[in-house]
Amino acid sequence: MLEQVHDEKKKVGEAAANLIQNKMIVGLGTGSTVYYMINKLGKRLENEKLDITCVSTSKETRELAEKLGIKFISLNDVQKIDLTIDGADEVDKHFRAIKGGGGALLFEKIVASNSKKVVIIVDSTKYVDRIGKYPLPIEVIPFGYKYVLEKLEYKGFQPILRQRNNKPFFTDSGNYILDTNISRIIEETDTIDLEKYINNIPGVVENGLFHNLIDVIYIGKNDGVEIRKKVGGN
C-alpha cells in the first residue's frame, strides 16, 4: 500500500508540473506530493529552458527548489500569481481541503488567496467524501496560546499542541500549531461559519480550512491521474 501511495504521489506531482508554462509566476506549495512536482519542474527548466518565477510557501520548499535552479520572488513584489500548485492532507468533492500537516498553512493560504488558479494535488487516500477525519491545524501565537486552547476545548475541538522532540513545534512565522478534531463539528456547521468562529478567537493567526480557493483537484491513482474541475472554474 505504501509503495502504491508513493507511486500515486509521483504520478500526480509530475502531471501537475506540466501545467506550468513559460513566463508564469507560480506558487509552490509544501509537502511530499509537491516534492515530486518540484523535481519534475526542475527537469523541465533544464530541458526546455523555461523562464518562470516562483513564490514559496515554506523554507523547505524554497531550499529544495533553489537547488534545482528555480528562481524566487517575494509575494510582496508581484501583483498576482498565475498558478499555485499545492498538496493537501484531505480534500473532498466539495473542493474543500484541510492543510497544514507540514506546518505551512499560513503562507499556503496567503499564496492561494493571491492566485488566479489553485490546483491541489493528492494521492487517492487523501481524496474523501467529506473533510474532517484529518485534524485541523490552527496556527496561534505563543503568547496566551492556552487561552485559545481552552476556547477550542469548550467548543469540543479537542485541541492538542503540536510538538517535535518533546518541544512545541514552531512554524516558519515562529508560531505554535494546535491540531484539532473537527470530525463531529464539520457535520453540524458550515465550513465558512466554522472558520469565522476559529479566526475570531484572539490569538489565532490562521486555520487550515481551505474553501472557495481551489479550482482543480489532481488525484493520483493506480492507473493514472484523475482531474476534477470545479463547475464554472477555469
Q: Catalytic residue positions?
A: 108
Alpha-carbon distance of 55 to 80, in angstroms, equals 10
Nearest to 106, CA basis, from 32, 30, 167, 39: 30
* Backbone angles phi and psi of 144, in degrees to 5: 70, 25
- How many whole angstroms separate alpha carbon 200 and alpha carbon 139? 13
Give the helix ranges, DSSP H, for the chain.
2-17, 32-48, 59-67, 105-113, 145-155, 185-188, 191-199
Beta pairing partners, 123: 220
Identify the CA nearest to 76 among candidates 102, 124, 110, 100. 110
Q: How far apart are CA 60 and CA 101, in angstroms?
A: 13
Q: Cβ-count burial of 46 within 10 angstroms (0-12 exposed, 13-18 middle, 19+ buried)? A: exposed
Cell numbers placing 91: 480534500
CA atoms within 13 A on the CB side of 177: 22
- On whether the CB atoms of residues 98 and 45 are closer than 8 A, the answer is no
